[in-house]
Amino acid sequence: MKDFLTYLVTGITLGASFALIGSGFVVVHRVTRIVNFAQGSFAIIATMLSASLLRGRLPHGLAEAAAVLVCGVVGAGVGWVALGRRGTHPLISLIVTLGLSILASAVIILLWGQDPVSPPGLHGHVTLLGVEVERQRLLVLVITLLAFAALALFFSRTYLGKALTASASNPYAARLVGIDVRRMGLLAFALAGILGGLAGVLVAPSNALSFSSDLALALSGFAAAVFGGLSSPGRTLVGGLLLGVAGQLTAGYLNGSYQTTVALLLMLLIMIARSRTFVAEEAK
């Protein structure tokens, strides 16, 4: 029983980071119908940058925040290229973001080298439900929950959030009421940059990240986002947590190397099962 609880708790904290990356996918897709392959790259860039800033004697909290904000700018840049000219098909944009994520790897190696980086985080453990949990992992969970709450409020209560949703819902009508749809797209990408960067700085202290980690991160995040149909932040959170727990249970009871496979299989099953709803959403 204790084992089960351990897997459950670690799974939840791990899943929270998946959900955070997944939320980046959701934000971009909601507004632009694009799937941003470079979502994982934001996490790596933020990690590397924050580690450098910490070495440069910038205090904790400030270094991470600065790194995350820079990722927001990077995100906007990615968006600017990916959105392309008017009428670029979202699938083309997807492959463009793939190209950008590869380019990002080049930049990361150029600036920070190829070695994995794990900046210092919170030290020590806390006991939760009789299970020992690292403080850092708990921090991930708390901040993820806060981020999701903030996102939900943003989209439903703020004028800007509604404008973003409208751009996704009916770009023609959005333009009609004076919303600059392209600017909304850039804003969505910037937001995704911040969310991805946040995920990076939170995860890196526990799991070292390198230039090649972006694919694994992006896939986990995408799997979580698939749960929410790439449009619901709430269900993305649930999806991320479920995936994290499923992964940990697999690693614990079966075999660690099957972790990714289980996650991928789950993702595929959900995508296929929901494929008819997806098609309806795309058609809108």
> Footprint of other proteins on this chain (CB under 8 A)?
35, 81, 84-85, 88, 90-92, 94-96, 98-107, 109-110, 113-114, 159, 162-163, 165-166, 169-170, 172-179, 215, 219, 222, 226, 255, 257-258, 260-261, 264-265, 267-268, 271-272, 275-276, 278-279, 282, 284
Let me know: does 116 contact 209? Beta carbons within 8 Å.
yes
State the minimum distance, in angstroms, from the CB of residue 64 to other proteins: 26
Q: Which C-beta is closer to other proteins: that of 8 or that of 192?
A: 192
C-alpha to C-alpha distances, 1 to 7, 125, 168, 228, nearest whole angstrom: 10, 20, 46, 31
In angstroms, give the least distance from the CB of 100 to other proteins: 6
Nearer to other proteins, 7 or 222 (CB): 222
CB 167 within 8 A of CB 185: yes
In this complex, which beta carbon is closest to other proteins, that of residue 118 or of residue 278? 278
Q: Which is nearer to other proteins, 113 or 120 (CB)?
A: 113
Shortest CB 166 distance to other proteins, Å = 5
The DSSP element (H or E) to which 131 belongs, if any, is: strand 131-134
Could you please report the per-residue DSSP string of 235-254? HHHHHHHHHHHHHHHIIIII
Closest CA to 17 of 280, 279, 224, 235: 224
202 vs 219, beta carbon nearer other proteins: 219
Q: How far is the CB of 49 from other proteins (least distance, A)?
A: 18
At 182, is the secondary structure helix, strand, or coil?
helix
Beta-sheet strands, E only, within 1-128: 125-128
As measured in angstroms, the least distance from the Cβ of 122 to other proteins is 32
